């Protein structure tokens, strides 16, 4: 029994250390500590406060992000993308919309990383869209 308690205590400590490490990385990447999923985040509160429909209401994530970047005509930080999504009437139940933006931006070939947490539309040949190199 004592061996099992020691094993579980060691495992708990490893998990705590991993969580602390992940929270530190998140804070370094996004400038603030991660939100606790049990408490409402400021980002979700902002989104819920913006209840008026807009041009992005009902749009899929990737299409809404593309519309924001197309309108901006320059690379944007993920926080600015989120702000403009909310202003455009975009709605989601995502627990962490900033992470959702990053997750979509790194997988969708329409987007390219243009700096630390900054994304832009990839300029198709012969089109006037902003290049990620900008």
pTM (two decimals): 0.59
| Predicted local confidence at residue 46, as pLDDT | 53
What is the chain's mean pLDDT, rounded? 79
Q: Where are the domains of the chain?
A: 1-34, 37-134
What is the full DSSP assignment across 3-69? HHHHHHHHHHHHHHHHHHHHHHHHHHHHSSPPPPTTS--HHHHHHHH--S--TTTT--HHHHHHHHH
Q: What's the pLDDT tens digit per position in 7-40?
A: 888 888 888 878 877 776 666 666 666 666 555 4
Counting as low any pLDDT under 50, the low residues of the chain are 40, 47, 50, 128-129, 131, 133-134
pLDDT at 134: 41
Top-level class of domain 37-134: mainly alpha
Nearest alpha-carbon partner for 85 in 107, 104, 106: 104
């Amino acid at each position: 029994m004592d061996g099992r308690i020691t094993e579980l205590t060691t495992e708990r400590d490893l998990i705590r250390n991993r969580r602390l490490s992940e929270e530190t990385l998140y804070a370094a990447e996004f400038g603030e500590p991660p939100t606790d999923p049990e408490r409402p985040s400021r980002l979700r509160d902002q989104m819920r406060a913006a209840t008026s429909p807009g041009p992005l209401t009902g749009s899929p994530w990737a299409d809404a992000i593309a519309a924001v970047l197309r309108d901006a005509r320059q690379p944007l930080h993920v926080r600015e993308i989120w702000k403009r999504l909310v202003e455009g009437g975009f709605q989601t139940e995502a627990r962490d919309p900033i992470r959702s933006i990053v997750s979509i931006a790194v997988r969708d070939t329409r987007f390219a990383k243009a700096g630390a947490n900054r994304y832009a539309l990839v300029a198709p040949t012969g089109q006037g869209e902003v290049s990620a190199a900008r």
